[in-house]
Amino acid sequence: MSVELPARLRSATVPSHGILEGTRVLRRLPDGVEERPYELFTVRPLGRVIGAEIGGVDLAEPLTPALREELNRALLEWKVLFFRDQDITPAQQRAFAAHWGELETNPFIPQGDTEHVTRFARSASAPAFENIWHVDVTFRPNPALGSVLRLIEVPPLGGDTLWADMAAAYDNLPEDVRARIDGLTAVHDFIPGFARFSDPDFLARHQDAFPPVEHPVVRTHPETGRRTLFVNQAFTTHIVGLDRDESDRLLRYLFSRAHIPELQVRFAWRPGSVAFWDNRATQHYAVNDYHPHARVAERVAIAGDRPF
């Protein structure tokens, strides 16, 4: 990771684990997969490697097998899909998500009025705490496959959400770092992500139900086969087998990979907007810049499998 300076230049200290300028590897599709057109809807890319707006799909209507298959192909290609002008109920949102598997809820987030729908109601009296790069529920043995998020009340300014492509993040790691982390596992725990904003007694009641779990630092996406960086600042506590200082240094560097703008997409919400993301391939960040205005959203999460 060190940078060697030509002999004619004065000596200088260059950080060994920084975000260096230069060309990025911007690979959207797995090797060997060719880009194909979509026949049942339009696709408007919002980012180079991640994020596309889908047109011509009404989420209030049941999906045909062909439409579900094509949307899944788009999800694997773009990692997060955006739908505008969707007038849907929580039950219809849940029905759409259920096309991708069993649904799950998060015991640390308030439930909405419909089963399997969690509600994020943010205001001056209930500040947001999702403004950190994270992957949902990696403290579970089987983290979520993905989520469908619908904004109910949109602030007049701000409240965007960003996603980062963590397969592209892995592609852009230096070779020595990839060699260092391949085969390593890391511990994930719900405590760091919720301790600063939740009642300690409430969290203590859930400790036995949610013990720390280990996941690979680099997971393999079960559908695309791509290698994906799978540690996140909200829930990853340390890397197994490394002393604390070395683990902290390496994790700080790996966490920072989500911060690279070329690997991100930023979405400005409007009433009727819906986002559907692949939790196996991305991290996301909810921008907390809209207070004292309210921001209310409802989310349906799809159960996933054990990372490998």
Just list the catalytic residues: 134, 136, 284, 299
CA distance linking residue 140 with residue 136, whole number of Å: 9
Query: Given phi > 0 = left and psi -120 to 50 = alpha, else beta, which region is 256?
Result: alpha
141/138 Cα distance (integer angstroms): 7
| In contact, 252 and 303? CB cutoff 8 Å | no
Run of H or E residues at 112: none
DSSP readout, 24-73? Answer: -----S-TTPPP---SSSEEEESSSSS-EEEES--TTSPPPHHHHHHHHH
- As to burial, measured by CB atoms within 10 angstroms (0-12 exposed, 13-18 middle, 19+ buried), residue 205 is exposed
Instruction: Identify the CA nearest to 35 among candidates 69, 81, 71, 74.
Output: 74
**Number of other residues whose CB lies within 10 A of the CB of residue 190:** 25
Q: 141: which strand partners? A: none
